[in-house]
Amino acid sequence: MLHKIKLFLIHPLLLLAVIAYLECIPYESDLGKKVYHEMPKIGDNFQISGDLAVYYYNGKGKYSYGTADCYFSFGNPAWSAKYEDGGIKTVDAQIANQIPFLGNMCDSTSPIQFKKNIPAQKINLSTNVLLENFSNISHVACFFLFTLSLLYYFRFHFRKYWIAFAVSFMAGGTLELVQKYFVVGRSASIDDQVRNTAGTVLALVFFMGIRAIKSKKTTVRSSQ
């Protein structure tokens, strides 16, 4: 009974279903949906309606973050965080364009030096934050496990390595296309597919290494 449960838990179709679920959760953000027809408050991060650039308002003017790395270096929450939780406020263009531009937040000459202290429970426990972090190591880990599962189930097939690589590569590519055309707020990413493939290749090397070690031990035992 336990053996059957183990086989079920490591079955490629089950692992693929879990990966598909994680990759196809709709990404929904309030950013840009609600437009404020008022001046930002001092300390607000804001975005001009219809523009992707993000600014910081210090009461005298606006500073551009310039890059995502610059934005997050100040302790800001995820893009998807609500304005009420320290996120970005979308301001009407007619109002925002009246605010003088003072420079870039991450320039060495910028007088803005602070680190936001936002309660962790407000920025770390949302679905969107998990989705934003899924693209990093999780793609590699998920396809590493998926490929190992394929190799185990096709371990007696003489083309198991080619089968595992082909299935994993096509599965990753298909999921990226599904995200692009059928999932709200998600898009296809070449970088994600590279991570998927990296996980697949690591699994192939790992499996080959394990088999080589077992084969060597068997040879040593038989020669004794």
DSSP annotation string for 179-221: HHHHSTT----HHHHHHHHHHHHHHHHHHHHHHHHHHHHHHHH
Q: Is residue 86 part of a domain?
A: yes
pLDDT tens string 108-163: 766 766 655 545 444 444 455 555 555 668 889 999 999 999 999 999 999 999 99
Q: Which tops the pLDDT comparison, 165 or 27?
A: 165
Q: Are residues 179 and 210 in the same domain?
A: yes
Q: Are residues 146 and 197 in the same domain?
A: yes
Determine the structural domain holding residue 196 and report its residue range. 2-27+135-214
Q: Are residues 186 and 145 in the same domain?
A: yes
Q: Is residue 222 part of a domain?
A: no
| Phi, psi values for residue 222, rounded to 5° | -70, -25
DSSP one-letter code for 25: S
Residue 90: both structure tokens together? 């979308």
Q: Are residues 39 and 19 in the same domain?
A: no
Q: Are residues 88 and 111 in the same domain?
A: yes
Q: Are residues 152 and 113 in the same domain?
A: no
For position 82, what pLDDT does the model report?
80
Q: Is residue 130 part of a domain?
A: no
Q: Are residues 39 and 22 in the same domain?
A: no
For position 135, what pLDDT does the model report?
61
For position 150, what pLDDT does the model report?
96
Q: Are residues 111 and 165 in the same domain?
A: no
Q: Are residues 151 and 172 in the same domain?
A: yes
For position 34, what pLDDT does the model report?
84
Q: Are residues 55 and 14 in the same domain?
A: no
Chain-wide mean pLDDT for the chain?
83
Q: Are residues 65 and 83 in the same domain?
A: yes
For position 123, what pLDDT does the model report?
47
What does DSSP say about strands 54-57 and 45-48: parallel, antiparallel, or unpaired? antiparallel
Q: Is residue 224 part of a domain?
A: no
Q: Are residues 208 and 141 in the same domain?
A: yes
pTM of the model: 0.60
For position 117, what pLDDT does the model report?
53
Number of folded domains that form the chain: 2
Last residue of a domain, one of 90, 118, 146: 118
